[in-house]
Chains A and B, each alone.
Chain A
Amino acid sequence: MTHFWRNRKFLSIAAQLISVFTVAIVVFILWDNLTYNLELLGIGFGFDFLQSQASFDIGETLIPYKPTDSYYSALLVGLLNSLRVSIIGIILATIVGAVVGIARLSTNWLVRNLALVYVEVLRNTPLLLQLFFWYFAVFISLPKLENQISFFGLINLNNKGTQLPFGLEISSELSALILGLTLYAGAFIAEIIRGGIQSVARGQWEAARALGLKPGLIMRLVILPQALRVIIPPLTSQYLNIAKNSSLAIAVGYPDIYFVASTTFNQTGKAVEVMLLIMITYLTISLTISLTMNTLNRSFQLKER
């Protein structure tokens, strides 16, 4: 019989108990301080404030909203705005990333190096700075409506925002945010797609050519299915980054969930509740993207016996 301090089972249980205790004590101390400090500030805990009147206006809404509505509706408006930016950003960044990623592998020296410059410039500067640049230096510095910049009358740019065909109007804030997110994430996605295509062995190209497949078909039937296996996992984390980075909307004044939540905090002082709301929202969004992409990933993985 070994001594109990040499017993593996005992040691493992003891270590786990100690860690539970430490965490519990730390949480208890923090919680104690929190309740004390909140009492000092005269702020109680509770989500009742969600029902009271928000009394601030929101510039852009997807659902009807007026300042007399509750905080709850305001936050819902913010959430929908966040989702809008994330979804559009993910779609556009994928397109930009695919184009630039393939351009990085072009046989054309000029195209290849222009793509490289794009990637290295965008990847190595902060997204926030790029957003400031697009918003302040580009979109709100555009000429007035009378002298707007027009691309064949299809796309019009002026200091009120962007007008697309079919009467689609995008505000300066949303234009800057989507452009910034797309170009930034596009640079990272381009490198992922380039790496994925390069990971497919040369022999696969040659074998496909030997079968007499056309270049387009080689890409679609042979290269892409294999490249996607390498591409999807890092692509997932880029999609997660786009969703998380959409919270930088606050920098250009686009009312996403974080922006609305921090306004709510400034008005009510409900730090804990607002923090929990932000956490739950983003964790749910992140989890949804992860689950979707994991399902997609599973369908592309090599099926072994």
Chain B
Amino acid sequence: MNYFKEIFASRELLVNLTLREVKGKYKRTVFGQLWSLANPLAAMLIYTFVFSFIFRLEPAPGDPSGIDVFAVWLLCGLLPWLFFANVANNGSRSLVSNAPLIQKVYFSRVVLPISTAGATGFNWLFEMVVLLIALTIVGAFVLPWLPLMILTMVLLAMFAAGVGLLLSIMNVYFRDTEHLLTIVLQIWLYLTPIIYPISLIEVQSDQVGGLFGTPVTILDLYNVNPMVHFVQVFREILYDGRLPDGGALLTCTIWAFVSLAVGLWVFRINEKHLAEAL
């Protein structure tokens, strides 16, 4: 409990460090904040071209919204994923890149990875607003789903922050972490139904049946991935325009709290020795 007090006491520092990241990043660029949209936009164009135009992938139209636009369907899963991947990436570097600060000044160290998550979250918020506008243009009525969307965003932010905390500590002791992470995230992206619908996995899973004579199917293993559930909930809320599956939302909630708790716990154990270990 004391730990939360400490974090709460450094909230101003948290805000200032977050602003430092946000403001510093696009300083002296002509397009400024617009650059944060460039990455997801480029990814959207590439995936839409390859998977929709070349491979003719056709995810089911939104039910009941009736929207049938691949690019928008893709973004509903891609934007949350990119947020998560960026928090993991930036979070893993947050302690190492601030080593001089950690070795010279005392402050609550936990604000470093959390402020990176905050800064990434700020950009994500910006992206989601653009997505909402796109959804409205293609005919979705998003307004009633805003509270649920924000709730899910908070849950994903908690999950990502926990992973970021864990990775930041790992990277201090094993500098390989950030390089390994690039590969892991790439595999992870394809293990999550972002650029293809989960129905394709379901079909495969049904064909193969239980693995190695056990009742465990491919789909069961696939569902271990927490991002599967986050992407599902975001799509149901935004693209389909309906209440998300209760089970999926519950899974997201559990993952969010477990990840944050483990992340904070590991961080707490290790933070006292950071100045020497760096």
Are these two chains actual partners, yes or no?
Answer: no
